[in-house]
Structure 1
Amino acid sequence: MDKQAVTVKDGEGEVLQVLGADVRFLLEAAATGHRFSIMDVTLPKDQGPPPHEHPWDEAYFVLSGRVRFVIGNAVRVFEAGDFAYVPGGVVHGFKGAEETPARVLVFDAPATAEGFFRDVDKETKAVPGVAPDIPAIAQRHGMRFLPPAA
């Protein structure tokens, strides 16, 4: 692979709509040979992915606002400057925790989440008013969403 430098100015780049959040790729998988990717995610209150698991690692750095994380059996609220690393196979999820949307940098390694995000964005827009089968999309990409708590 012939590596190239990548620069993204604030406000540049494609924004995907995924599970109520805006996902903007700062560094796409192809640019790193799928070793890792970096996303800038904006999370409105109560929006974001429910608890799920997948085989790749992810790390989160909260840029602003507050985010409610589920990691394993723990539930914690993270604020600007807080960091979390979630190894592959560990159940996790996160949502915006206050009225002002939070911003989080998300790193995935190896870079695998991009396909899921792109499919959800595309299939959500394909038939307006009809929600796509998110668990089926997740399964296609090696992810498993947990059933909602009773």
Structure 2
Amino acid sequence: MMDSTKIAAEDRQLTVSLPDERVNVCIGSGTYSIVIKGADTAERFAMIDMWIPPGGGPMPHSHLCEETFYVMEGEVAVFCGETRTLAPTGSAMNIPSWAPHVFHNLSDKPARLMCTVSPAGLDRQFLEIGVRVATRTSPPPSVSAEQRAELMKKIPAIVEKYDGKVLPPDAFDHLMTPEEIQFLKDAEGA
């Protein structure tokens, strides 16, 4: 039983996150809604609502924070180290600190993931990289090839700033079929 006299001496209050007050950003084809900011939790954790369209998912990467996903809708293929796992609706997974990983929506329907990272930081990284949009399901705005190329040059330094590392784009191709790789290329070009 917890001793009520040992309450943490913090100057924090209850955090309430309402959908219409959240910041939403597009990174690639996905839209990420910052549900709980690290600033609200003394940087202990952050929570992000991820909307991943068919063919979507991040670049292969690793980072200091632990990353836990709960698949609320759809499914994603998760690649972590040398393991490939299909995560359908209702699945949960934890990606350990610094584990090389990526996830892809290889289906024809959007996926929705609730992601918690600990410690926080990924929320600020997303805000720095992403383009702000109106809602958690807003499609990405049109970006010229030049703008995309400029952002791609900046991303590794931004990721490193938040204790992460971008991996080669083909880091997990050996765990996918040629058809899946083509599906992702086609989705990226759309």
Is the shorter-chain TM-score for this pair beyond 0.5, marking a shared fold?
Answer: yes
Unaligned runs of 5+ in 1: none
Larger Rg: 2
Q: Give, as a single letter, the amino acid of the residue that structure 1 aligns with 2:160.
A: Q
After the TM superposition, list the runs of 4 or more consecutive aligned residues in structure 1 that deviate by more than 6 angstroms: none
User: Residue in 1 aligned with 2:111?
Assistant: 102
Q: How many residues align?
A: 147
Question: Counting strand residues as a fraction of each chain, which structure ranks higher?
Answer: 1
The match for 1:2 among 1, 11, 16 is 11
Deviations 1:41-85 (A, max 9, x none): 000112121221111111010001011111111111111110101
Distance in 2 between the 1:122 and 1:139 partners? 19
The range that moved more, 30-39 or 14-23, is: 14-23
Which letter does structure 2 place at the counterpart of 1:108? V
CA distance in 1, matches of 2:169, 2:31: 23
Q: Percent identity?
A: 24
CA contact (8 A) 1:36 1:109 kept: yes
| Whole-angstrom CA distance in 1 between matches of 2:112 and 2:161 | 27
Match of 2:168 among 117, 133, 147: 147
Does 1:75 pair with 2:96? no
More helix by share: 2
Q: CA deviation at 1:94?
A: 0.9
User: Conserved in 1, the CA contact under 8 Å of 2:48 and 2:123?
Assistant: no
Preserved contact between residue 71 and residue 112 of structure 2 (Cα < 8 Å)? yes
Give, as a single letter, the amino acid of the residue that structure 1 aligns with 2:158.
I
Question: Aligned partners of 2:29 and 2:55: how far apart in 1?
Answer: 9
Match of 1:49? 58
Question: SS at the partner of 2:112?
Answer: strand
Letter in 2 for 1:64: E
Identify the residue that residue 138 of structure 1 maps to in structure 2: 159
Cα root mean square deviation, aligned: 2.0
Name the residue aligned to 1:59. Answer: 68
Distance, in Å, in 1 between the alignment partners of 2:53 and 2:131 is: 20
Partners of 1:61 and 1:12 in 2: CA distance: 22
User: What amino acid sits opposite 1:114 in the alignment?
Assistant: D
Matched, 1:114 2:135: no
